[in-house]
Chains A and B, each alone.
Chain A
């Protein structure tokens, strides 16, 4: 026996300890696995020995190997053996190994119950401590049940060291064995006021965790926590308490007010960033006061200057602030939006702003919105506008605003865009012609006075670019209506002047055709009939221009009667295109040698004669206005000749002058594929159409340009309901602005015509999954629109915190999904993707890419798109019986909201069908012009609508148990109807 002991201790001298193992592994870098397997064999030998020291050493090494990823569960029983050693040095190694290796399904745990109980009641506080620590790692429901009482007793142990640990382990016991909570809770509450801060902090921890799961039951503890918050100095504890209050405040709103003071004190006094962060977090979440909202927006605008990206992600939040009751908050939010726009989001932001313009009450705010829209769009030389048709239609829509002071602002924008964006002129002219035609709507009410400034721009654009007019005669007629005489003087003057320009265009058109002198003469007669009204005007300029032009026309008519072709000469009056010139262009013209700009050209005026002379020459240079006043035809003839001569000179000059921006012949012809040929009715919101067109255009840039346009439009319309993915990639502007800056180069900028032959489109439908409250199925139809075979399509979406694409097990969070088919040319096919969604209260957009290989080119092509998860797509058509419906409404759990739609003139059943179809509702009951509708979200929210209609106005009263969801669904319904 003695020999055996001696032999054992000699053996031990050659045993490896942990240090030797670590060194050994480091020295065997090449054959680590082999070395470790020999070590494990040794350990197995050691574990077979009776000597507890050897065993504990072996277990210690196993703990290290376990950390390296080796399975040591085979040694579980030996670990229990070491745990039950009476010596603390060994015991702790056993417990350490157990806490690292054991888990609920380790079966030897059953054997430990008595051992642990013995250790818990050990007189040595460290024995107890180590047992508690170990227990927290591997406690099972059985252990929790059996040991709950022992641990509860330890909560009032004399040593704070033990109390602290016992309190904390109780949380795990509660989780595993919930029945223990009720008897243990009073004692737990006592521990909140324990004299030892460590115990106190442990109790706060436990109660905070419990309260987060079920805050209601812990409201009564609020005063106690309040006291702790003001007295505790431990930052970690304070953070927990503040978190707890964050959970309690939604249940007891009065708490919020009480919290402000201590929280602000903490914010001011603490030096710990983490505590500050938690306070601010809670303040934002709980005490969401308007002051803070305002300050937050203010801070954001500061951040925006240096880190624009970080603010841009909060776009939706900022847009929400536009709904705020407080005007100053809304104005702040507007300021922020100004700095946040990019090419990608401009249309979206402006669209939202336009909605607000409609809703806005009070002209000041509405005017502010209007100026902001214009500011946003026009900033840095229209940098963010990719589609000017859209912008023009926005401007036209803005003219609907009643009583705005900013008519001149809209007018100057119209002029600016029409002059500087050559490609847009045809479109702009068409829009302006409609405006002129409907001028009575603008001027009908005296309140509109501010807006009639727009007519100034409209008349000028129609006149100046009259060659784009489809029916110049009609526009001419519209401009000479007697009602025009009620407009302000400066607008009338522009009307008269541009009527003359139009007249020249009309003449041109009429004489170009097989000479029909009668029609031409009738046109002249129209002017002769209508102009006298203006000649009588009390405004000097109107009178002057009108009489001048009247005489000119009369003379022309005389010539016409003699069958003289006058059109060419009349057009010559207004020839020469107006082009943008850089503000400092003049500076670049070198001063000719020998010319002293400061010297007098003529001596200072000595007599009236020379002055008159000078003025006369100036006048002649522009138009033959002064002369035409004289009725003698002789004079006019001379003047026209002279004018022609001058024009020749000017043209020659222009040709030689490198700084004069010439009209490049090609730019006139440039019209983009998407410019629509359809007639637009003025008083409908049109910009949406252009948003749509813009989307199509962006897709078109990728697809074959020669595709049948009509077909695409139809597709666009179909998609409206479920908002398909829009491609976001390379947004090339449809038109370029002539950017006139100091560095303005030679000619106008070329139109960007980079086109790739991309050839795939997809349309998608988003549907909630009935069986799972957090799943949404997106079916995507891929259509191959090119002539080549498309293969290896891969679909990928950037997950957000809220929505995630479900990928097969084992795939990383950024891996793409392979689309399970190839696409021969012209074929379309459907694939389904499942997304998991956490919150369905807010609509959401996910960005994604589709990569694919076109067979011929065998390169990877990429198509970016956006998936728009509207709140509607989370709704599922669910039938509901009227009595159940009534019960639901009576229950009072639902919160209400309402919506008014005006100018809806479709039949009521169409309207209901639309809501049913687009928004997944079902009709519960319908009585005459009133109907109740019901739908359910995938997470079981009830949405009830009461739709009533009375002469073109539809009012929708809605109720839902989730107000956020309801608000978004209503917005979407509103959008559906604003699009029809």
Chain B
């Protein structure tokens, strides 16, 4: 199962974290820096999987942002690898609708995620629940969020 999902920038600052297994709040920063260090220190040509403690890390880099997923060793690494891209495509679809350009290639993406943290969370919650993949269809993932936006506009 998926244990956590992190979005971090190149400086190692956490931009989004979602845990599917309870980790004490005091331990989170050290875990996050440790995980990030592992991923950042790897070269581009090296593979995207890292063994870490008793689980595996799957990471992908998009411009300045890293998305790191911690999984148990029964999970299929490649499926998570593809899931990360699926997630990014969803974000792309949602935010480029607003910005009308490719979202993830711009440095703007980091700010967008920080400013719309709650919305990104909604997207993640649609895709992953309980540490498992629930939905991979982009339209269905975005449906609740779009409904919410409509409500806000109506206000």
Residues of chain A touching chain B, judged by Cβ–Cβ distance below 8 Å, are 18-19, 22, 60, 63-64, 66-69, 71, 73, 88-89, 92-93, 96, 99-101, 103-104, 126, 129, 132-133, 136-137, 161, 164-165, 168-169, 171-172, 198, 201-202, 205-206, 209, 212, 234-236, 239, 243, 272-275, 277-278, 813
- Residue of chain A at shortest CB distance from B82: A274
The complex places the Cα of A239 from the Cα of B79 at a distance, in Å, of: 8
Q: Which residues of B contact A101 (CB under 8 A)?
A: 25
- Residue of chain B at shortest CB distance from A204: B132
Query: Are A89 and B25 in contact (CB-based, < 8 A)?
Result: no
Query: Are A129 and B25 in contact (CB-based, < 8 A)?
Result: no
The complex places the Cα of A104 from the Cα of B53 at a distance, in Å, of: 24
The total of Cβ contacts below 8 Å across the A-B interface reads: 111
Query: Are A96 and B118 in contact (CB-based, < 8 A)?
Result: yes
Of B62-70, B91-99, B147-155, which stretch is located at the interface?
Answer: B147-155
B114 at the interface (CB under 8 A from A): yes
Residues of chain B touching chain A, judged by Cβ–Cβ distance below 8 Å, are 1, 14, 16-18, 20, 22, 25-26, 28-29, 53, 74, 76-79, 81-83, 111, 114-115, 117-118, 121-122, 125, 129-130, 132-137, 140, 143-144, 147-148, 151-152
Least Cβ distance of A798 to chain B in Å?
A: 13
Query: Are B79 and A235 in contact (CB-based, < 8 A)?
Result: yes
Indicate whether A273 sits within 8 Å of B78 (C-beta atoms), given known contacts A69-B25, A92-B122.
yes
- Residue of chain A at shortest CB distance from B53: A813
Q: Chain A CB within 10 Å — which of B29, B111, B130 has the most? A: B130
Q: Which residues of B contact A169 (CB under 8 A)?
A: 129-130
Least Cβ distance of B100 to chain A in Å?
A: 20
Pull 18 A–B residue pairs with CB atoms less than 8 Å apart, ordered by A. Answer: A22-B115, A67-B17, A73-B25, A89-B152, A93-B118, A96-B121, A104-B22, A165-B129, A168-B129, A168-B132, A171-B130, A198-B134, A198-B137, A201-B134, A202-B134, A274-B78, A274-B82, A813-B53
The complex places the Cα of A88 from the Cα of B148 at a distance, in Å, of: 9
Query: Are A198 and B140 in contact (CB-based, < 8 A)?
Result: yes
What would 18 more interface pairs be, CB under 8 Å, given A274-B76, A274-B81, A277-B78? A22-B115, A71-B25, A73-B25, A96-B122, A100-B18, A103-B22, A133-B125, A133-B129, A136-B130, A161-B140, A164-B135, A171-B130, A202-B134, A209-B1, A209-B132, A235-B79, A273-B82, A274-B82
Contact of B79 among A66, A88, A274 (CB under 8 A): A274
- Residue of chain A at shortest CB distance from B51: A801
What 9 A-B pairs are tightest by C-beta distance, nearest first? A274-B78, A69-B29, A274-B79, A136-B130, A103-B22, A133-B125, A205-B132, A22-B114, A19-B115
Q: Chain B CB within 10 Å — which of A63, A129, A136, A206 has the most? A: A136
Least Cβ distance of B65 to chain A in Å?
A: 15
Query: Are A126 and B125 in contact (CB-based, < 8 A)?
Result: no
Query: Are B78 and A168 in contact (CB-based, < 8 A)?
Result: no
Contact of A18 among B29, B74, B117 (CB under 8 A): B117
Q: Which residues of B contact A212 (CB under 8 A)?
A: 74
Q: Which residues of B contact A239 (CB under 8 A)?
A: 76, 79
The complex places the Cα of A209 from the Cα of B75 at a distance, in Å, of: 11
Q: Which residues of A contact B152 (CB under 8 A)?
A: 89
- Residue of chain B at shortest CB distance from A170: B130
Q: Which residues of A contact B134 (CB under 8 A)?
A: 164-165, 168, 198, 201-202, 205
Q: Which residues of B contact A234 (CB under 8 A)?
A: 136
Least Cβ distance of B117 to chain A in Å?
A: 6
The complex places the Cα of A779 from the Cα of B74 at a distance, in Å, of: 34
Indicate whether A67 sits within 8 Å of B16 (C-beta atoms), given known contacts A198-B135, A273-B78.
yes
Contact of A88 among B111, B137, B151 (CB under 8 A): B151
Query: Are A236 and B130 in contact (CB-based, < 8 A)?
Result: no
Query: Are A236 and B133 in contact (CB-based, < 8 A)?
Result: yes
Q: Which residues of B contact A96 (CB under 8 A)?
A: 118, 121-122
Q: Which residues of A contact B77 (CB under 8 A)?
A: 274, 277
Q: Which residues of B contact A278 (CB under 8 A)?
A: 76, 78-79
Contact of B148 among A89, A103, A165, A168 (CB under 8 A): A89
Indicate whether A277 sits within 8 Å of B130 (C-beta atoms), given known contacts A22-B114, A104-B22, A126-B147.
no
Q: Which residues of A contact B130 (CB under 8 A)?
A: 136, 168-169, 171-172
- Residue of chain A at shortest CB distance from B114: A22
Q: Which residues of B contact A103 (CB under 8 A)?
A: 22
- Residue of chain B at shortest CB distance from A69: B29
The complex places the Cα of A169 from the Cα of B134 at a distance, in Å, of: 11
Q: Which residues of B contact A66 (CB under 8 A)?
A: 25
Q: Which residues of B contact A99 (CB under 8 A)?
A: 125
Q: Which residues of A contact B83 (CB under 8 A)?
A: 236
Query: Are B82 and A272 in contact (CB-based, < 8 A)?
Result: yes
Least Cβ distance of B90 to chain A in Å?
A: 14
Indicate whether A67 sits within 8 Å of B25 (C-beta atoms), given known contacts A89-B151, A93-B118, A205-B132.
no
Q: Which residues of A contact B143 (CB under 8 A)?
A: 161
Q: Which residues of B contact A202 (CB under 8 A)?
A: 132, 134
Query: Are B28 and A69 in contact (CB-based, < 8 A)?
Result: yes
Q: Which residues of A contact B121 (CB under 8 A)?
A: 96
Query: Are B28 and A243 in contact (CB-based, < 8 A)?
Result: no
Q: Which residues of B contact A88 (CB under 8 A)?
A: 148, 151
Least Cβ distance of B60 to chain A in Å?
A: 13
Query: Are A126 and B148 in contact (CB-based, < 8 A)?
Result: yes
